[in-house]
Amino acid sequence: MRRTIPGVILLCVWLVPAAGQERLTMAALQEADYMQGKQAFQGRCSACHTLADSSSNIAGPNLWGVFDRVAGSKADFRYSETLEKAGFEWSPDRLDAWLDDPTGYLPGNIMGIPEAVPAADRPAIIHFMLIETGAVDWERPPEAFAVADRSAPPAERWPSFWNHLMFNRVLYRWEDAAAGENFPFEVYFKTDGSAATNQKGMTGFWHITERDFFCYALTGMPVGVGSMVECFPVAAMAIPRFARELWTSNPQAEVKLHGGIQPGRPDWVDAENPAM
């Protein structure tokens, strides 16, 4: 059963630096573009958050019911001390301010969003999240139910993802403070389903699941148990970004895996990785 947002947050304040304040009403949010919001959420948020009821936490908490929830209060997720002490309930205006300034809105939080979400995308993301987290009963547009051609190869289904991940280098830093491990390495995902690295004896492979998750495994690692497996939504890589650290995940207990992408890769990888 879907819930409705309590009346106290039916009016949201959207801060506009040059013009003071502009009121973004629920009516305006309802008119925002669902598909734009879905694409923006998938590209910017889905690597860390799920939305559906009873879905699992991943790097970040599941967001079902988030607009009924006090920040940092989901019982089965470990938050930063900053978020646990924030003392507010999530509402559209709070989320808009957070996405506008991810690090400055609550200094000390550890959410791994690499950059502010553009103003043009924020109402659409909030619209999409209000629907998909059970806060409102607005109808989804017909195109939300369109079935993708699953027979097409990944390069055709997700060209931005494919070109971003298959022809650049992924930088990782394995951090396990308890074990005293701080291990940087590079991974080069290849179009044949394999993964090469810049570490001798360390190799891997990848696969895209029926639910459109990109899963990869690495073996021969000189840290942890010597291997790791991790999955993330393909859509999370749909927006090309380059930085040494863009996200942080927890592939094993007590381990933080920092990841980023830099353009290009060594010539030897391309020589063994012909375009498909």
Model pLDDT for residues 6-26, shown as the tens digit of each residue: 433 333 333 333 334 445 789
Based on the fold, state whether residues 163 and 125 are members of the same structural domain. Answer: no
Average pLDDT score over residue span 209-222: 94
Q: In this predicted model, which residue has the larger pLDDT, 234 or 1? A: 234
Domain housing 13: 7-139
Distance CA 55, CA 48 (A): 12
Average pLDDT score over residue span 213-237: 92
Q: Which of 84, 105, 139 is the last residue of a domain?
A: 139
Q: What is the pLDDT of residue 181?
A: 96
**Cβ burial 179-199 (10 Å sphere, 16+ → b, else e):** eeeeeebbbbbbeeeebbbeb
Residue 145 lies in a domain: no
Say how many domains are in the chain: 2
pTM, rounded to two decimals: 0.65
Q: In this predicted model, which residue has the larger pLDDT, 221 or 235? A: 221
Q: What is the pLDDT of residue 112?
A: 66
Q: Which of 139, 167, 202 is the last residue of a domain?
A: 139
Based on the fold, state whether residues 29 and 69 are members of the same structural domain. Answer: yes
Q: Which amino acid is at 28?
A: A
Average pLDDT score over residue span 175-195: 96
Based on the fold, state whether residues 90 and 184 are members of the same structural domain. Answer: no
Distance CA 132, CA 140 (A): 10
Please state, rounded to an integer, the average pLDDT across all residues of the chain. 85
